[in-house]
Structures are given as structure tokens and as C-alpha cells.
Structure 1
């Protein structure tokens, strides 16, 4: 509940507030879930990360049962995809089945793993501000816009 209290004074100043939590479902993450209007799940296509989906589901069930709050899942975004890895393709196939079975949308295109992404964020630049303006950067920027538009509905 502390996130909800902390956001109350500024919530009217912003149309959208994104809360980025670490992958652990602990008290901090549960507090963020309580404060949220919906949930965007960002998952790396790794087996350990996919195992965390069950923890998220349990946390949402606890939220509904103990706090009387049903938090809708806005969708799942696949992050740090390495197209050269067969295991990533297998995990994406699993995520498609998982999402379809639960009526959850996979949002946007999977986000590829690129060193330039971390370099840009480290210097405080957006993907649309890449000095060379490569195609992948423009596509990534448009992908994020598409994802955020779907989450904001």
C-alpha cells in the first residue's frame, strides 16, 4: 500500500505512471501491484524467467483474495530476444500458448537484445534519438509506442 500512498499526491499530474519492478515477487512488488491499474509483464525468453509467471499469477490471486483488488493483465512483452538461439524460439512458442490459454495479449514485436540499447539508456537518450538513426532503432521506438498505446487502454 505504500506505493499507492506515495503516488497519490502526483497521480493527478500524470496521465500514465509506469512502475518498473525487479523480477522478484516480494513486498515491494506486491505493493506496486496494489497501486497499479493494470499489469504489463515483461519477460526474457529464458526458462527461469518464464517460471516467474507462476509467481505473478499467485501474487494476483493473493491480491484478489486478500485485498479485494482484481488487477487486469494488459499483456506480455518479450524482451532480450536472441534470434540465433533455438531455446528462445521454444520459449516464445510456450509464451504464445500460455498467453492464449489465459486470454492475455502478447504486445508488440519481441524486443531484440542489442548492446546499443543499454548504451543509449545509459546516456539518457531515447531510441528515436540514436545518432545514426538506424532502422532497428526506429522500429524499436515504434514498437514501444504501440505497446504503450495498448497498455493505456
Structure 2
């Protein structure tokens, strides 16, 4: 059965798109059939997957508005070995145009029914805002992954996101669950990062992923080459951390045993 995972945080700069791209590539490397959906008008997940967003004749914008079927818009991210539903600035207009359309909150959920059996994982890279695009992601997903940077304002805004998740679950998508909180850009030499990590552990407990994503130069460099870190530098700590996260997801679904302790890679 397909696992649809919304990767979201209304706070920008927390590694949301980096996580979407590298988790998709890592799951694909573990022989899983993966679809990555770029729900952000900035199109960073599209460019980071090696697809030129400016050259696209159709994007998820056209799919959400019903002018093009999803199958015609899908592209192959060759470096990451996953399928991609791309995005560009056209998607910014969808916010306004979706308002007057029927089932505006569940249009993504409706179109994914046609391809859900073709994939084992569908990852949704949501924009850094609690808007109609993010709401479509939450309505379509079964789980939510929240990347959180280990910094002073880490918990800021999380309560609003958690409230939104609860509201969506009570009204539009009763199957929605918080899959977990992911610590990103972690530097073990930084005392503040350690303190924030401890706070997240106390606050979220078992809902905190055991794998921790380190601050890593290769992760930052890879998008400019249009490739996931796994294919830019497989031996880097960042690439290995996302492979560990992918394995943790598989373990959480019962395919493998859970790791016994935190992995700081």
C-alpha cells in the first residue's frame, strides 16, 4: 500500500526541500517506487531534481486546475531514479484560481487516486506556509514529516502547524497522522543545537525520528548540480544520513527492525 507523506513546515530554511529530494532518492536507492510532488511555486524540488522549471510546458498547476491529466505532466528525475510532478511560478496563481473551484481542498487527493497503485512512496514537498497548497497536501497525505532546524526558534510556529493537522484530521482527512519530527542541519559541536535537540526529544518523544540530519556542505552543494546528495557524493555524511532516514521509514512500517539508538551521521 502506498505511503503518502507530506513534508512541511511553515518556517522556511529548515531543510524541507533538501529532505524531499534526498529522501526520494534514498528510497529509490532502496528499490522503492517513488513519486516526488513539488507543491512549492518556487520549484526548488524540481530544479534540485535536475529538471529545468523554466522549460516546462505543463506542471502540477495544470493538474490541480484539471486542464492536464497527471500522467501527461510526470517527468523522470534520472539522477534520483524517481518520478517527479514538477512545479514553477505558474503554481502561485493556483492559490487564487482554486478558491472558486469545487473540492478545492482535495483536488490533489483526487488526482493521486489514479496513480497510487504505481508507487510505494509519494512525497509531497509543501510550500513554507499554511496555505491552500499545503492544505491540499495534508488532505492527500497519510502522514506528515516536519523538518526542524536545531536552532533557537525551532519550536516557533510548530503549534500552528500541529493545530492545522488536527483540524484537517477532524474534518477533511481522518487518516492523517503526524509521522514524525526530523532534526536537520545539526551540528553536534554546537551547545545550542544539543539543547534544542533535547527539547524536541522531551516534547515529541516517539514522534521524533531517531535519524538526525547533520549540517553538511555536500547537501548544500548538490542542488546546484541538479542532483540529490546521494548521487553527487554518496559517501558524504548528508547522503548517508538520508539513507538512514529512508531505512528508518521502512522499519517503522515493519519491513525492518527499528534502530536501537539515535544515529548522528
Name the TM-score class by shorter chain: 0.7 to 0.9
Q: 1:32 to 1:68 in 2, by over 3 A?
A: closer
Task: With the length of structure 2 as denominator, give the TM-score of the two structures.
Answer: 0.50
* Cα displacement string for residues 19-69 of structure 1 (whole angstroms, at most 9, x for unaligned residues): 011332222112211100111121111343422221121112211333252
Query: Quick one: distance in 2 between partners of 1:75 and 1:84?
Result: 24
Shift of 1:138: 5.7
Query: Quick one: distance in 1 between partners of 2:252 and 2:131?
Result: 23
Contiguous gaps of at least 5 residues in structure 2: 1-105, 255-265
Query: CA-atom RMSD, angstroms?
Result: 2.4
Contiguous gaps of at least 5 residues in structure 1: none
Task: With the length of structure 1 as denominator, give the TM-score of the two structures.
Answer: 0.80
Query: Quick one: distance in 1 between partners of 2:226 and 2:252?
Result: 23
- SS of the aligned residue for 2:156 comes to helix
Task: Show the 5 A alignment for 1:21-60.
Answer: 21-60=126-165
Of Structure 1 and Structure 2, the greater strand share is in 2
Q: Does 1:113 align with 2:215?
A: yes
Q: Does 1:73 align with 2:73?
A: no
Name the counterpart of 2:244. Answer: 143
Query: Quick one: distance in 1 between partners of 2:173 and 2:213?
Result: 34
Name the counterpart of 1:134. Answer: 235
Name the counterpart of 1:96. Answer: 201
- RCO comparison, higher one (Cα < 8 Å, 6+): 2
Name the counterpart of 1:61. Answer: 166
Name the counterpart of 2:112. Answer: 7
Shift of 1:134: 3.4
Q: Does 1:122 align with 2:224?
A: yes
Of Structure 1 and Structure 2, the greater helix share is in 1
Query: Quick one: distance in 2 between partners of 1:65 and 1:138?
Result: 37
| Number of positions where the alignment pairs a residue of Structure 1 with one of Structure 2 | 149
* Cα displacement string for residues 97-138 of structure 1 (whole angstroms, at most 9, x for unaligned residues): 1112xxx4322421111121122233233433345x535256
Shift of 1:9: 2.3
